Amino acid sequence: MARTVLVTGGANGIGLASAKAFHDEGCNVIIADIDLAAAQAAARDMGERGAGCAIDVRDKNSIEAAFLFAEEKFGPLDVVHANAGVSSMKRALDLSEEDWDFNFDVNAKGVFLTNQVAVRHFLDNRIKGAIINTASLAAKVGAPLLAHYSASKFAVVGWSQALAREHAKDGIRVNCVCPGFVKTPMQEREIAWEAELLRCTLEQVRQSYIAQTPLGRLETPQDVAGVVVFLA
């Protein structure tokens, strides 16, 4: 029987690459995104084993509705990739409470709520499920101009470790991935923001990212998706 996977923030970037990788492995895939039209468009390319739905990971009711949609479409979920995330960029002393709250509401609270719903779903259905959370290189080393984003992603790592230790006895595995500089629409926005803040060119920012990457190139979403599928 095919496993069923839900990917939040699945309409583009890492989430879409993850969804496609799971689909290529023969899984049923629910692409859940705040942009419903984009989620449905991405799912159409997957045929009968794909479906798209709306989700706002800041809202527990929205998450539960997405899980119900998935279960009605394909049956109980086996894997959840909690990938939805946002970023913004400012110097630490210029950050507003709104900047801080927005990053934490999506990146940290969104993972917390999605994971909580997922674990309850696994327990209710007696499934030894897998959760993979998207953190960041910025969850390992604090990133200048991204202090609030880094803090939210550090929270994802700590939460993932604690949740994994609590529910290992139930056969539920919880891991997170910490991507580096990944070539996505989010990164393109960040390059523009950083170039403006540092008063340099887009290419100078891009080259600084590459210089910090041992492979000597930007990561691709597919690089990350391969790890996500492995962890599932």
CA distance linking residue 189 with residue 8, whole number of Å: 20
Mean pLDDT of 94-99: 97
Q: 154 vs 91, 107, 162, 194, CA distance in Å?
A: 18, 10, 13, 21
Q: How much is the pTM?
A: 0.95
Nearest Cα neighbor of 120 from 75, 172, 72, 74 is: 172
Q: What is the pLDDT of residues 42-66, one digit of tens each?
A: 999 999 999 999 999 999 999 999 9
Mean pLDDT of 16-27: 98
What does DSSP assign to residue 142? P
Q: Are 34 and 106 in contact (CB under 8 A)?
A: no
User: Residue 81: what are its φ and ψ, rounded to 5°?
Assistant: -105, 100
Within 10 angstroms of residue 140's Cβ, the number of other Cβ atoms is: 14
Residues with a known catalytic role: 149
Distance spanning both ends of the chain, measured CA to CA? 16
> What percent of the chain has pLDDT above 90?
94
CA distance linking residue 85 with residue 114, whole number of Å: 12
Nearest Cα neighbor of 71 from 46, 83, 53 is: 53
Q: Which residues contact 3 (CB under 8 A, 6 or more apart)?
A: 26, 27, 28, 78, 79, 232
Answer yes or no: is pLDDT of 188 > 80.
yes
Mean pLDDT of the chain: 96
Within 10 angstroms of residue 72's Cβ, the number of other Cβ atoms is: 9
Looking at residue 208, what is its pLDDT? 92
Looking at residue 96, what is its pLDDT? 98
Looking at residue 114, what is its pLDDT? 98
